[in-house]
Every structure is written in C-alpha cells, then in structure tokens.
Amino acid sequence: MTYSTYYNLFETRTLGIYQAGHPLMEGVTAITDRLVYGADLAIKPDAEAVAYYDNNVPYLATYPGRIVAINQALTDGAEWEGDVPALLHNAILALAPSDVPWLSETVTEFDLAIGGSAHTNITLDASVPQVNQPGIYRAWLWFDHNDPFQQGAYVRWR
C-alpha cells in the first residue's frame, strides 16, 4: 500500500469485506479501529488486497516476496479491539521463513528423559541456489516439544 499524508483521526472503523480463506485471516472475523488509519492510499500493482475497512479503504494487503501491509496504528495508546492479535500472529508466520534450504540437521526428532540430552549436527550447504553471494546468512531454528507446561524455543543461527 502506498500512503499519502491524509489520515483519519478518532474515526471508528470496523472490518469490512475480506478473504475469509486467506491464511492471514485465519481466526480473524472482527476488528475495530478507533484511533487512526491511512485513508488516501492505493494498493500497489501486483499486490493482493486481503481485507478492507467497512468504508472500502484497504486494511490488509500482501505483496509477492513475503510483504504484509496493515493499515492500522498499533502503537501504545491505539484503540482497537477484536482479532488484531490473531492477525498479527498470522502476519508474523507469513513473514517468517518456513524452511532454510542451506541448513540441515542430522537428527530432527528424538525422545529425551527428564534431565536428558541429545546431540545433532547443523550443516551449512553453500552450494544451494539460495546462497548466491558471499555474506552473512541468518536463520532461526525452532525447537519444539510435547511438554504442555513449557513453550518451544527459537535459537538464532548465523
């Protein structure tokens, strides 16, 4: 979306038409924004409008290459309600790489007893097409488990 300098302040808007089957809208059916949104904006060519406010102003759009644009103030003091947290969660998942083709693990699943440990080797393969120039490549590795009292963890890889 491209914005102008025109904003609507303190005008309540709700979610209008949207693509219910779009992954960004999973679990999202109601959003209300009471603070500020850009009103004079346009969807870029090749972008996909996913949702609109109730006055047909674009609310959510995607662009090829993992770009998500949300037309809503999300700062401290912003007044919104509804499924905004679910939308932001979906946007983060859409922006996060699902796989890093230049990294591989020797062991991807294992069972651990309480207090146990396991080892795996992480290998960088610079011959894949995605590694096309020298530089620093970054990724996050997700460690998941089935313990209902703990969360998984991301570990940064550089």
> Which pLDDT band holds residue 124 (cuts at 50, 70, 90)?
confident
**Residue 54: what pLDDT?**
92
Q: Are residues 56 and 16 in contact, defined by beta-carbon separation less than 8 angstroms?
A: yes
> Which pLDDT band holds residue 157 (cuts at 50, 70, 90)?
low
**Residue 20: what pLDDT?**
94
- The percent of residues in the chain predicted with pLDDT above 70, rounded, is 87
Q: Are residues 53 and 14 in contact, defined by beta-carbon separation less than 8 angstroms?
A: yes
**Residue 61: what pLDDT?**
93
Mean pLDDT, range 45-62, rounded to an integer: 91
Of 38-52, 95-109, 142-156, the poorest mean pLDDT is in 142-156
* Residue partners of 58: CB distance under 8 A and separation at least 6: 1, 41, 42, 43, 49, 51, 52, 71
Statement: residue 49 has pLDDT above 80: yes
Q: Average model confidence (pLDDT) for the chain?
A: 83
Cβ atoms within 10 Å of 11's Cβ, excluding its own: 14
How many residues does the structure list for the chain? 158
> Which pLDDT band holds residue 21 (cuts at 50, 70, 90)?
very high
> Which pLDDT band holds residue 46 (cuts at 50, 70, 90)?
confident
Mean pLDDT, range 99-115, rounded to an integer: 84
pTM for the predicted model, two decimal places: 0.61
Mean pLDDT, range 21-44, rounded to an integer: 86
Mean pLDDT, range 117-139, rounded to an integer: 86
Statement: residue 51 has pLDDT above 80: yes
